[in-house]
């Protein structure tokens, strides 16, 4: 489009020079063409002004189209970065949520005695693995900032807040969490330290809670991808 407009400007300038300026300079008023220019100089000037205005409008349209194209390219790149960040976060949380849910389900399969005795090493190991995975998931959730949460819809935000609270209530029972739960290592057939039926219920409840949060997360990710792809 730019080349076409340039050719029009050049052609119009040459036509004006050949048809108007040369006859007016060398022909004078005694020449037929010179007399025509003299008699209709106002009309010719008006037509040239309209031609110049049309060229100016065309140039403005070209500039606006180029600016709009650059804006769309920047928006596309920005949306791709946002979509990549969303997908990366959702994929990371999906893996962690599935792992916590699986450890919770495995822990629920153990029939543990009400007393502190009678624990198997497998039960203690599964319990410790569940606590560690829940701890790592909680730490990951804490890194999700306001910018990312600003993209959450209402359903996901509610699910996020509830799930975070459930993890926090479970993990606050373990002051050794930051050190990797050293007090919970299975050294005998006794129940791990600080274990009780309330903690067991919280651990088992993580299976359904994790899947509920995961369902909301996947629904939200699919909706965001549809929006960015339109």
Q: What angle do CA 203, 208, 213 make, to 5 degrees?
A: 110
**Per-residue confidence (pLDDT) for residue 88, from 0 to 100:** 86
Specify whether 115 is located in the same domain as 205: yes
Is residue 140 within 8 Å of 96, Cβ to Cβ? Answer: yes
Q: Which residue has the higher pLDDT, 217 or 124?
A: 217
Specify whether 23 is located in the same domain as 123: no
Using CA atoms, how far apart are residues 190 and 121, in angstroms rounded to an integer? 9
pLDDT band at 225 (very low <50, low <70, confident <90, very high): confident
Distance of CA 25 to the CA centre of its chain: 67
Torsion of CA 79, 81, 86, 88, to 10 degrees: 150
Residue of 113, 125, 137, 140 lying closest to 181 (CA atoms): 125
Specify whether 91 is located in the same domain as 102: yes
Residue of 202, 180, 47, 204 lying closest to 111 (CA atoms): 204
Specify whether 108 is located in the same domain as 190: yes
User: How many domains, the chain?
Assistant: 2
Using CA atoms, how far apart are residues 79 and 113, in angstroms rounded to an integer? 54
Longest Cα–Cα distance in the chain: 126
pTM here is: 0.64
**Per-residue confidence (pLDDT) for residue 115, from 0 to 100:** 61
Enclosing domain of residue 20: 2-72
DSSP 174: -
Specify whether 218 is located in the same domain as 106: yes
Using CA atoms, how far apart are residues 174 and 181, in angstroms rounded to an integer? 7
Specify whether 51 is located in the same domain as 152: no
Handedness of CA 150, 153, 158, 162 (dihedral sign): negative
**Per-residue confidence (pLDDT) for residue 148, from 0 to 100:** 80
DSSP of 66-81:
HHHHHHHHHHHHHHHH
Which distant-in-sequence residues (6+ apart) come within 8 Å of 56 by Cβ? none
Question: Mean pLDDT highest for which of 54-63, 85-94, 109-118, 127-136?
Answer: 127-136
For 152-207, the pLDDT digits (tens) are 889 999 999 999 999 999 999 888 787 777 666 555 555 676 788 899 999 999 99
Is residue 138 within 8 Å of 178, Cβ to Cβ? Answer: no
For 62-111, the pLDDT digits (tens) are 677 667 666 555 554 455 666 777 888 899 999 999 999 999 999 999 88
Domain end call among 72, 87, 108? 72
For 17-51, the pLDDT digits (tens) are 556 555 555 555 566 666 666 666 676 667 667 77
Specify whether 114 is located in the same domain as 61: no
Domain end call among 41, 72, 103? 72
**Per-residue confidence (pLDDT) for residue 108, from 0 to 100:** 93
CATH code for the domain in which residue 189 is found: 1.20.120
Using CA atoms, how far apart are residues 165 and 126, in angstroms rounded to an integer? 23
């Amino acid at each position: 489009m730019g080349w076409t407009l340039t050719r029009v400007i050049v052609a119009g300038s040459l036509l004006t020079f050949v048809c108007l300026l040369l006859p007016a300079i060398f022909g004078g008023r005694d020449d037929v063409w010179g007399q025509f220019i003299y008699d209709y100089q106002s009309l010719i000037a008006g037509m040239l002004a309209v031609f110049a205005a049309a060229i100016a409008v065309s140039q403005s349209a070209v500039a606006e189209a180029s600016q709009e194209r650059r804006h769309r390219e920047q928006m596309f790149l920005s949306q791709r970065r946002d979509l990549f960040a969303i997908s990366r976060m959702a994929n990371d949380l999906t893996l962690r949520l599935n792992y916590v849910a699986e450890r919770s389900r495995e822990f629920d399969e153990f029939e543990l005695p009400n007393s502190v005795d009678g624990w198997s090493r497998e039960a203690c190991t599964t319990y410790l693995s569940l606590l560690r995975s829940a701890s790592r998931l909680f730490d990951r959730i804490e890194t999700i900032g306001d910018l990312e949460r600003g993209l959450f819809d209402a359903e996901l935000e509610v699910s996020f807040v509830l799930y975070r609270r459930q993890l926090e209530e479970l993990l606050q029972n373990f002051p050794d969490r930051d050190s990797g739960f050293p007090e919970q290592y299975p050294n005998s057939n006794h129940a791990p330290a600080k274990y009780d039926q309330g903690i067991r219920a919280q651990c088992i409840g993580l299976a359904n809670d994790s899947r509920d949060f995961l369902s909301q997360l996947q629904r939200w990710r699919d909706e965001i991808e549809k929006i960015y792809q339109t």
